[in-house]
Amino acid sequence: MFLRRAVFPRRAAVLVAAAALTATAACSSGDDTSTGSGDTPKVDTSASFKAGTTMAKLKSKGTIVIGTKKDQPGVAFQNAASGKFEGFDIEMAKIVASKLGLDPNDPKQVQFKEVVSKNRETFVRTGTIDIMIGSYSITDKRKKLVDFAGPYYVTGQQLLVKKDDDSIKGPEDLKGKKVCSVTGSTSIDTVETKYGANPVPFDTYTECVDQLKNGSVDAVTTDGAILLGFASKSPDELKVVGDAFSTENYGMGLKKGDADFRSFLNDTIEGAEKDGTWKTAFDSTLGKAGVKAPKPPKVDRY
């Protein structure tokens, strides 16, 4: 899930994530505000911001609420054993918090809140969360409602089917098939509008995978690395088929028109790419497969 156009092969990137995801724990229910393990970035204790900016307000308040997912192995998920949020997106969120002068390891200062896909724009616009960092693809449609910093990560859409199903080998085989993904996702729009699938939306990918296992749907679709994570936990039941057939640019969602905050986030992403903390975030999550971190995508200051 990490290709910026022609930076490196999408299929190879997805396979990198697959190996990394085999060691992840299953998701649990309920919110949790603590962070997972990893090399926590150093807190910028000297951080200072112009009065009235979002950055100044967050630092003064001493708390940031970050919207994310909790059922995406390797990306953003809640570890069943520890109850903590973990994954690449979570590590990127920690980097943002540290640049605000907040301690990512203090659950009072950095609070993670699960946000299902259909509520992301609403939660950002209403201030329910301060920022959304959770496999949030940048699209022109969404940019009419919220602003984005990034991308900080790129992936491609694939398909998850039952192990013994040879009728679906790629998106061209989806016409008339029941395909599940989360409500409000770009993935479910793509398979319906471009490939003629019958969409079956649910709030979480875990629910979609359950629907696939019990035969209620024919396939599940989302970003490849996430699907490979689920397949790795049920290798005798599920498999990922076909090459990636879309490009999903992950961004950080924030209130529309907040130019200062957006610039700060873009600066933070670029800084992390340059000083090595982006690579550290990758290595401590998806990079656990033993594969070198890819070249990060270029930030689009649209």
Q: What is the pLDDT of residues 286-300, one digit of tens each?
A: 666 444 677 899 999
Categorize the per-residue pLDDT at 227 as very low, low, confident or very high, splitting at 50, 70 and 90.
confident
Mean pLDDT in residue range 38-48: 85
Mean pLDDT in residue range 133-146: 96
Tokens describing residue 71: 């059922």
The predicted-structure confidence for 243-271, as pLDDT tens digits, reads as follows 999 998 999 999 999 999 999 999 999 99
What pLDDT shows up at residue 15? Answer: 43
Phi and psi for 173 in degrees, rounded to 5? Answer: -100, 10
DSSP letter, residue 192: H
Mean pLDDT in residue range 47-61: 98
| Strands 146-155 vs 157-162: parallel, antiparallel or unpaired | unpaired
Torsion sign across C-alpha atoms 148, 150, 153, 158:
positive
| CA–CA distance, 14 with 2 (Å, rounded to integer) | 8
Within 8 A by CB and 6+ apart from 181, the residues are: 187, 188, 191, 199, 201, 202, 205, 208, 220, 221, 222
pLDDT of residue 34 exceeding 60, the answer is no
What pLDDT shows up at residue 40? Answer: 73
| CA–CA distance, 135 with 207 (Å, rounded to integer) | 17
What pLDDT shows up at residue 287? Answer: 64
Categorize the per-residue pLDDT at 128 as very low, low, confident or very high, splitting at 50, 70 and 90.
very high
Write the DSSP assignment of 124-183 as a string of letters: HHHTSSSEE-SS-B--HHHHTTEEEEEEEEEE-EEEEEETT--S-SSGGG-TT-EEEEET
| CA–CA distance, 50 with 54 (Å, rounded to integer) | 9
What pLDDT shows up at residue 75? Answer: 85
pTM: 0.78
What pLDDT shows up at residue 162? Answer: 97
pLDDT of residue 4 exceeding 80, the answer is no
Cβ atoms of 111 and 65 closer than 8 Å:
yes
The predicted-structure confidence for 90-124, as pLDDT tens digits, reads as follows 999 999 999 999 999 999 999 999 999 999 999 99
Residue in the block written with tokens 């689920």: 230
What pLDDT shows up at residue 6? Answer: 37
Q: What value does the mean pLDDT of the chain take? A: 86
Residue-wise over 255-273: b if at least 16 C-beta within 10 A, else e?
Answer: bbebeebbebbbebbbebb
Cβ atoms of 186 and 251 closer than 8 Å:
no
pLDDT of residue 17 exceeding 90, the answer is no
